Amino acid sequence: MTVSFMHCCKKLLNTLLRGVFVFAWLNTAYAEGIYVNKAELRLDDDGYHLSANYDIGLTQVMQQALSRGIPLYFVGEFSLTRPRWYWVNEDVFQGEQTIKLSYNVLTRQYRISRGSLFQNFASLDDALNILARQNSPAIPPELLKKEEGYIAEWIKREGNLVAAVRLRLDNSQLPKLLQVNALSGSDWSLNSDWYRWEISQEAIAVSNPAGTE
């Protein structure tokens, strides 16, 4: 009787452990990738910016490469277009920035670099939280082809704009051997795809609550 009871308990424990393993694997698989959770037009001191927040999950292969000192380069892309029913859409603004994510094996710190600027972090999660916040360069007023005002005045005259953002891993900056692997497998595929939304008068009012241009 005791042997039978112990056998049932052991079988139940194995079943539960398998369930926990599958659940953990599914969570890891779901977390891999880049997903947009917020995108907006923002007004700062130096002008309007396209802004996006992402959820970023590196694959296990990427994390292993990073832990061995191989840096990962990400490209944030931004655009504004004017829809035209009678012709192809007009490109109003395009911008991008490259962000380097690296790990120093000696100091055991992660680093986010944008050009000559950088920040160090004690954990990968902290570094990814900063990488997840993307802002475009300021949108130059002269690109909107107006004499007075800014985006709101342009929209009054020309109609709504369509904004788009994307964040992707730049495989072209991986070591040559890894570039070959990236072409043949999904372990090195990380791309949010383009996320688009319409910039209207209402969106301008939200991004500029004071009503000033």
For residues 63 and 49, is the Cβ–Cβ distance under 8 A?
Answer: no
Q: How far apart are CA 103 and CA 200, in angstroms?
A: 42
Specify the long-range contacts of residues 178-181, CB closer than 8 Å, at least 24 apart: 178/65, 178/70
Q: Look at residue 84 and tell me whether its pLDDT is greater than 70.
A: yes
**Three-state DSSP class for residue 10:** helix
Residue pLDDT, tens place only, 144-200: 765 555 777 778 777 789 999 999 999 999 888 776 666 666 788 899 999 999 987
Q: Look at residue 108 and tell me whether its pLDDT is greater than 70.
A: yes
Residue pLDDT, tens place only, 9-66: 444 434 433 443 333 333 444 468 999 999 998 888 888 899 999 999 999 999 999 9
For residues 26 and 191, is the Cβ–Cβ distance under 8 A?
Answer: no
What pLDDT is stored for residue 203 in this prediction?
Answer: 63
Contacts of 108 (CB under 8 A, 6+ apart): 122
What pLDDT is stored for residue 2 in this prediction?
Answer: 47
